[in-house]
């Protein structure tokens, strides 16, 4: 499952793709589970918006966040032994678990501009690490991830305004031309692990009929002492809570804005988010 080649690739590039970590049957189970969860939330919550003619598909298929706080299936996936094996192999010790997310990315949905995850989590010392599992085939047409190899060695960069016609978030980081982003093509069940400093984002979904669903978890290094308050409670990989300090600033991973750059209110995983905390 996890090899020394995975570790070498992660150390060199800041990310590594582990192929087929979850089976086709497991992937189908997760797709069905989170689709039901999304539809049940849509039925329960009033999702009327100020401009109902906007046509943004994310209004019908917004992401789910922090599902593990109320859903045992999500919690079990977050703490799954096979994911822990990979994370421990990459980091040299068990991490702490802090977040789950499910992105649906329906046809015609915007992508997410280039960013660094630790800009939001503010882990100290050290950084965070993501486990990003494809639930559909992910390619450039339906908005796959893009990463900047080697950027895991960079500090947290200052942000600039993003193009909200292309990105559902309104901030991005400038990347030198000599460090281009590369697309990561993934099959269902593949998991991409990447360092919290690495610059990454995703393309818009330009297809007419293909979703790009992904199940994502964030972890922090096992010697971390602080993380932003959004990510509490912090869990050990056996499910026990651990007390850490709250780092200054930070927010949820990416504030959803409309095409005019106005923040959208999200109600997901029974957590209401009005704006960034920074």
- CA distances in angstroms from 232 to 15, 43, 120, 187, listed in the order given: 25, 28, 13, 32
This prediction has a pTM of 0.90
Non-local CB neighbours of 74 within 8 Å, separated by 6+ positions? 67, 68, 100
Q: Where are the alpha helices (DSSP H) in the chain?
A: 4-13, 24-44, 72-78, 81-91, 118-121
CA atoms within 13 A on the CB side of 96: 25
| Statement: residue 139 has pLDDT above 70 | yes
Tokens found for residue 78 = 């977050």
| Statement: residue 160 has pLDDT above 60 | yes
Residue 55's pLDDT band (boundaries 50, 70, 90)?
Answer: confident
Mean pLDDT check: name the lowest of 128-142, 154-168, 256-270: 256-270
- CA distances in angstroms from 86 to 82, 89, 139, 192, 193, listed in the order given: 6, 5, 24, 10, 9
| Statement: residue 49 has pLDDT above 50 | no
Per residue in 30-43, pLDDT (tens digit) is 999 999 999 998 88
pLDDT for 121 equals: 96
Pairing of strands 241-242, 234-235: antiparallel
pLDDT for 254 equals: 65
Q: Round to whole Å and give the CA distance between 224 and 129.
A: 12
Domains of the chain with CATH codes? 4-273 (2.60.120.620)
Mean pLDDT of 119-130: 96
| Statement: residue 268 has pLDDT above 50 | no
Residue 258's pLDDT band (boundaries 50, 70, 90)?
Answer: low
How many Cβ atoms from other residues are within 10 Å of residue 261's Cβ?
Answer: 13
Q: Round to whole Å and give the CA distance between 93 and 87.
A: 8
The fraction of the chain above a pLDDT of 90, given in percent, is: 81
Mean pLDDT of 94-106: 98
Mean pLDDT of 142-170: 95
* DSSP code per residue over 168-200: SSSEE----TTS--EEE-B-TT-EEEEETTS-E
pLDDT for 42 equals: 84
Residue 269's pLDDT band (boundaries 50, 70, 90)?
Answer: very low
């Amino acid at each position: 499952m996890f090899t020394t080649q995975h570790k070498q690739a992660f150390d060199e590039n800041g990310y590594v793709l582990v192929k087929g970590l979850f089976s086709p049957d497991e992937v189908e189970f997760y797709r069905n589970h989170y689709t039901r969860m999304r539809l049940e939330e849509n039925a329960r919550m009033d999702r009327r918006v100020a401009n109902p003619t906007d046509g943004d598909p994310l209004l019908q298929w917004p992401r789910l966040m922090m599902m593990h706080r109320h859903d045992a299936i999500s919690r079990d996936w977050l703490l799954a032994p096979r994911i822990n094996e990979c994370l421990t192999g990459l980091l040299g010790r068990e991490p702490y678990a802090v977040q789950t997310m499910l992105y649906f990315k329906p046809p015609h949905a915007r992508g997410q501009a280039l960013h660094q995850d630790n800009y939001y989590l503010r882990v100290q010392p050290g950084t965070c690490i993501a486990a990003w599992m494809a639930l559909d085939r992910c390619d450039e047409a339906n908005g796959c991830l893009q990463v900047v190899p080697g950027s895991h060695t960079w500090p947290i960069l200052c942000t600039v305004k993003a193009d909200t016609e292309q990105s559902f978030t309104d901030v991005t980081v400038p990347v030198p031309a000599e460090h281009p982003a590369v697309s990561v093509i993934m099959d269902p069940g593949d998991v991409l692990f990447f360092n919290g400093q690495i610059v990454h984002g995703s393309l818009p979904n330009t297809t007419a009929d293909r979703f790009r669903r992904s199940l994502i978890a964030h972890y922090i290094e096992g010697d971390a002492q602080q993380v932003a308050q959004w990510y509490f409670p912090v869990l050990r990989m056996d499910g026990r809570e651990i007390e850490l300090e709250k780092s200054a600033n930070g927010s949820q991973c990416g504030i959803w804005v409309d095409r005019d750059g106005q923040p959208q209110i999200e109600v997901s995983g029974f957590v209401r988010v009005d704006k960034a905390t920074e």
